[in-house]
Amino acid sequence: MEDESKFGTDRDLPPGPINWNLLDAPAAAIEWRDLDMFVTWLKNTFGLPPAIVPPFWHRHDELIWELSALHTHFLACYDDAASPSAPVLWMREFADCRQRLREWVATCGTRLDRDRPTRQTTWPGEPVGEVAGEAEISDRAADFTKFVHEDVSRRSRAEEIARHQLLA
């Protein structure tokens, strides 16, 4: 079993914020693994219900960004160089984060046994997007693995296209 107490502290660099929009494929694969380990630890350690951390959190950008921010804050507050009072700050921020997570989960509509994409508001003049229905959750781990593979593959393809355009 992997050491779930690290949550990415095996990196050579100090913890820093993650901009999911700018990660290349190899970095994304590492960040997804670390974030999933952290979220699993968080759920289990604090007994968080699906109203705060649902099984398909990885399919909702708003939950990814919130949980990622909490993760990097955790790494900074529990770093060897952190102030001895930093964990108290993390716990305070974690309480605020739980409230925001409840709001995000209520808005996006994901639940313990079902998930649907977050509904998007169409502004005047924008094309109306296709609305996907709910999907039953049967195996969260398998879905996460597939999701990460698709994300990393998409990033790799985009990087390859960018390389070809630079060489052309």
Q: What is the pTM of this model?
A: 0.88
Domain count, the chain: 1
Residue 78, in any domain of the structure: yes
| Token digits of residue 17 | 């914020």
Buried b (16+ CB within 10 A) or exposed e, 58-92: bbbebbbebbbebbbbbbbbeeeeeeeebeeebee
Range of the domain at 70: 25-120+130-167
Average pLDDT over residues 65-84: 95
Residue 17, in any domain of the structure: no
Residue 77, in any domain of the structure: yes
Residue 7, in any domain of the structure: no
Residue 14, in any domain of the structure: no
For 19-65, the pLDDT digits (tens) are 999 999 999 999 999 999 999 999 999 999 999 999 999 999 999 99
| Token digits of residue 158 | 């985009």
The pLDDT-based confidence of 2 (bands split at 50, 70, 90) is very low
For 101-114, the pLDDT digits (tens) are 999 999 998 989 89
Distance from C-alpha of 33 to C-alpha of 29, rounded to nearest angstrom: 6
Average pLDDT over residues 85-90: 96
